[in-house]
């Protein structure tokens, strides 16, 4: 039987290409199931999953919860803002207390890079990283690559530009790893202050002009300016950012080809993306959200059924 090489999903960096393909094939099955009138399967009956969110989230948290419920898992939700973390409890104590109640899997979002890796070293449950600070967001990259495969037939050989705040985005790093493993060419584009120095070592193209990036790519994945993670001023004003790096429908229509437009959400409408572009036929933003549930079902299913 095919199975994942890992017992946790901490990042894309340590997945093999075969792992990613296996997740996609499993997600294909789940996608057809969730489009049927009866969306629920018993695959994770008797498995208890804790969604432990130390950072805000709408899409990712709801998507994991729906994926778990459609697999018939028992689900407990925890958000840091309403917990004893505010009273000074450590991460390990919080999670060990949840595990003492017999939890099998932990889906965690945390503001500190490496927090899920730390947890995986100390607890028995399978850990899924739902975003660790500016580091990785593996299920987002999987659903992004899966959506490209669905729209364009394959990821291999496609040119994908990641445009925006590369420095603070965990979606960017996970996307770079996933797309490269699947054989795509990757470009990053944004103001020089928002391109991390290490990006040169990752084998990606670097482009400062958004116009040139759009002319080069088959797919543009537009990323949000992560104002909440910026301690410094990386650009003069949001207005100036939009002027130089904002994407609108007129720009997309002026290209001599049709490109696919993506965004992980939440969109800052009128900043990195205009509403007419986000809502245009170029956009597969809502397909990404739909595919997120199937991808997360696949990851949960494959981790829960892994034989050791």
The distance of closest approach from Cβ of residue 268 to ligand NCD in the complex, given in angstroms and rounded to an integer, is 9
- Residue 81: strand, helix, or coil: helix
Per CB under 6 A, the list member of 13, 59, 117, 229 interacting with ligand NCD is: 59
Query: Which of 24, 56, 214 shows the shortest CA–CA distance to 130?
Result: 56
Alpha-carbon torsion (193, 115, 266, 281), positive or negative: positive
Per CB under 6 A, the list member of 26, 51, 126, 140 interacting with ligand NCD is: 140
Sheet of 74-79, strand order: 74-79, 48-53, 105-110, 126-132
CB nearer to ligand NCD: pick between 215 and 279: 279
> 């399978």: which residue's tokens?
126
The site map against ligand NCD for 207-236 (x = CB under 6 A) is -----------------x------------
Q: At what angle do helices 285-304 and 59-70 cross, to 10 degrees?
A: 50
Question: Does 164 engage in binding with ligand NCD (CB under 6 A)?
Answer: no
CB nearer to ligand NCD: pick between 140 and 180: 140
94 and 38 Cβ atoms separated by less than 8 Å: no
The distance of closest approach from Cβ of residue 38 to ligand NCD in the complex, given in angstroms and rounded to an integer, is 28
CB nearer to ligand NCD: pick between 7 and 56: 56
Query: Which of 141, 147, 170, 171 shows the shortest CA–CA distance to 219?
Result: 147
**What residues numbered 190-209 form the site for ligand NCD, per CB under 6 A?**
none
**What residues numbered 77-116 form the site for ligand NCD, per CB under 6 A?**
none
The distance of closest approach from Cβ of residue 289 to ligand NCD in the complex, given in angstroms and rounded to an integer, is 8
CB nearer to ligand NCD: pick between 14 and 56: 56
Task: Quote the DSSP letter at residue 247.
Answer: B
The site map against ligand NCD for 262-301 (x = CB under 6 A) is --xx------------------------------------
Cα–Cα distance, 185 to 161 (Å, whole number): 8
Per CB under 6 A, the list member of 31, 135, 137, 282 interacting with ligand NCD is: 137
Per CB under 6 A, the list member of 131, 138, 190, 191 interacting with ligand NCD is: 131
284-288 contacts, C-beta under 8 A, 24 or more apart = 284/147, 284/151, 284/260, 285/261, 287/147, 287/150, 287/151, 288/143, 288/144, 288/147, 288/262, 288/263, 288/264
Cα–Cα distance, 288 to 261 (Å, whole number): 11
CB nearer to ligand NCD: pick between 70 and 170: 170
Residues that bind ligand NCD (CB under 6 A): 59-60, 131, 137, 140, 170-171, 224, 264-265
């Amino acid at each position: 039987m095919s199975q994942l090489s890992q017992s946790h999903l901490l990042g894309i960096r340590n997945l093999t290409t075969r792992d990613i393909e296996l997740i996609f094939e499993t997600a294909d099955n789940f996608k057809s199931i969730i489009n049927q009138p009866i969306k629920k399967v018993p695959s994770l009956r008797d498995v208890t999953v804790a969604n432990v969110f130390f950072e805000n989230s709408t899409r990712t948290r709801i998507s994991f919860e729906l994926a778990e419920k459609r697999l018939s898992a028992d689900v407990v939700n925890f958000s840091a803002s309403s917990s004893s973390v505010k009273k000074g409890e450590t991460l390990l104590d919080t999670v060990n207390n949840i595990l003492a109640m017999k939890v099998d899997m932990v889906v965690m979002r945390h503001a500190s890079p490496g927090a899920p890796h730390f947890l995986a070293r100390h607890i028995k449950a399978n850990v899924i990283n739902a975003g660790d600070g500016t580091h990785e967001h593996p299920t987002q990259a999987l659903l992004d690559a899966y959506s490209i495969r669905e729209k364009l037939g394959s990821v291999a050989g496609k040119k994908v530009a990641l445009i925006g705040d590369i420095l603070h985005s965990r979606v960017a790093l996970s996307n770079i790893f996933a797309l490269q493993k699947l054989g795509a060419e990757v470009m990053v584009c944004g103001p020089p202050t928002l391109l991390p120095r290490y990006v040169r070592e990752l084998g990606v193209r670097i482009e400062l002009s958004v116009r040139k990036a759009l002319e080069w790519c088959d797919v543009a994945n537009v990323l949000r300016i992560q104002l909440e993670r910026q301690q410094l001023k990386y650009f003069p004003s949001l207005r100036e950012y939009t002027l130089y790096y904002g994407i609108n429908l007129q720009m997309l229509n002026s290209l001599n080809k049709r490109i696919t437009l993506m965004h992980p959400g939440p969109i800052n409408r009128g900043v990195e993306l205009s509403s007419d572009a986000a809502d245009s036929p170029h956009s597969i933003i809502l397909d990404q959200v739909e595919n997120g549930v199937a991808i997360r079902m696949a990851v949960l299913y494959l981790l829960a059924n892994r034989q050791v």
